[in-house]
Amino acid sequence: MNVPVVRSLVGGALASIVLLGLAAPAWAVPSYARQTGMACSTCHTVFPELTPFGREFKLNGYVLDNMKQIRGITIERQETLSLNSIPPISAMLQVSYTHTQMAVPDSVAANAANGALARDGDLLFPQQASLFYAGKIADGLGAFLQLTYDGAADHFGFDNTDVRFAHHLALSGASDNDLILGLTLNNNPTVQDAWNSTPAWGFPFAGSNVAPTPAAATQIDGTIGQNAGGLGGYLWWNHSIYAELSAYTASKVGGSHPLDSSQGPALHGLNPYWRLGWETRWDQNALFLGTYGIEAHIQPGGVAGTLGGETDKYTDYAVDGQYQYITDDHILTVLGTYIHEKQRLDASSQFGLSQNVDDTLNTMKLAANYYYRREIGGAVGFFNTIGTADNLLYPAGVPVTGSSSGAPNSRGFIFEVNYLPFLNVKLQLQYVKYLKFNGATTDYDGVGRRAADNNTVYLLGWFNF
């Protein structure tokens, strides 16, 4: 296959990914409230951000219950069943309106060439609608399962999933020497994490899934998510030290199975994910510092034969931190992460999908949010992605999603005002301002689009019940 064809395939794939599917997944689940009998504010500052108790609930396997159980025991009194009498089912609805500073080109090719634009201002009813099974399965075993209907894509899909088992180990009988050992089975590296500074549950907690977003993201920053299956073990010692080691492999959703080269990028073999962190709590404060990362071997797919032979190797090293100040009246959270990705693109370069064999991609995200009485609040976020220019990975001449310089660099701010009339309902106004998009400020795609044209106003009604 010649390079222009590959380039157009890559460009088209990028466009569809960028335009259809990169909204941050982020949900809170009322069935946990039903299971525990506790209000949302117990586990969330404002959903989906977790409080220290919310982290404990998650790391304990989602199993804390305060409702009648359907039980089974053996003659030796061994428990064989402990099931909530009411299934932990809940639902989520997101309705949104997106407006970009300049509409994107009309997708009909002839009109695009003439500079015709799509209609700007897009109401999605729903943007997403989800059903959850979120709660206890058995003693020590719990789940977070999400099925999501995506309004723009018009399909139901398997979304974030985390099934985990946790066991307390009393060390030397001392009550202040507590150790939890756990296992997690999930489909998105960092979805199992209990801090909101990692990608799966990071800021922004919701965003438009129809506005243009930058072409480049590190593998751990949502690229692998929901096309992976992983099993890991973790420990949580004295409510302070967290350590985890997991391994992920390909688990592609949809398409042909067993996997062949018609599928998009697919993990190859077992890919290690690690996490280490330390949390300290004092008075109304909680501070967390951590590191995480993944070594992902990926077969690029999309070109016949790409599932054999060479693989691309992505190594993501990341640090993150989170500070929370939580009182009844005031809640302040500051969080951030920095991800450094080394890309060894042996397969992509061989198949003409990348220009270079070695690239890097670095992403920084910082955010601060404040709420008054969990009712009204605002947030400011900053993001910056810098990487090696690669004219095939980030091709020029593709309207909106292309990069005329081949550089993936994007930078900008996110501003939010949020109002919660109830703990489980969030009304959000978000503004995303791009200072740089896919490598440039003006004519970044080689077709005349400016970074600022992608500035986005996003209105969201988010209901959990």
State the binding string over 295-324 for other proteins (x if CB under 8 A, else -). ------------------------------
Q: Which stretch binds other proteins (CB under 8 A): 73-81, 119-127, 170-178, 215-223?
A: 170-178
Site map 255..294 versus other proteins, x via CB under 8 A? --------------------------xxxx----------
Q: For residues 60 and 226, which CB has a smaller minimum distance to other proteins in the complex?
A: 60
Nearer to other proteins, 82 or 410 (CB): 82
Cβ(288)–Cβ(302) below 8 Å: no
| In the block, residue with structure tokens 């982020």 | 26
Q: Which residues pair with 235 in a beta bridge?
A: 181, 243
By the 10 Å C-beta count (0-12 exposed, 13-18 middle, 19+ buried), 13 is classed as middle
Q: Within its chain, how far is the Cα of 334 from the centroid?
A: 18
Q: Which residue's CB is nearer to other proteins, number 134 or number 267?
A: 134
Closest approach of other proteins to the CB of residue 242, in Å? 15
Among 6, 20, 38, 103, binds other proteins (CB under 8 A): 38
330 binds other proteins (CB under 8 A): no
Q: Which is nearer to other proteins, 41 or 403 (CB)?
A: 41
Q: Which range touches other proteins (CB under 8 A), out of 85-93, 175-183, 221-229, 299-307?
A: 175-183
Residue 387, both tokens: 């990487």
Nearer to other proteins, 114 or 327 (CB): 327
Q: Which residues pair with 129 in a beta bridge?
A: 93, 149
- 37 touching other proteins, by CB under 8 A: yes
Site string for other proteins, 361-390 (x = CB under 8 A): ------------------------------
* For other proteins, the closer CB: 80 or 327: 327
Smallest distance, other proteins to C-beta of residue 332, A: 15
- Compute φ and ψ for 17, nearest 5 degrees: -65, -50
Among 80, 114, 168, 417, binds other proteins (CB under 8 A): 168
> Which residue of 2, 85, 172, 175 would you call a contact of other proteins, by CB under 8 A?
175
Angle at 175 between CA 170 and CA 179, to 5 degrees: 40
Query: Quick one: which segment of 59-67, 222-230, 310-318, 389-397 binds other proteins (CB under 8 A)?
Result: 59-67
Considering beta carbons, is residue 177 or 262 the nearer one to other proteins? 177
**Which of 24, 27, 47, 57 touches other proteins (CB under 8 A)?**
57
Burial (CB < 10 A; 0-12, 13-18, 19+), residue 332, is middle
Site for other proteins in 231-260 (CB under 8 A): 238-239
Note the residues at the interface with other proteins (CB under 8 A): 36-39, 41-42, 52-53, 56-57, 60, 64, 66-68, 168, 170, 175-178, 238-239, 281-284, 326-328
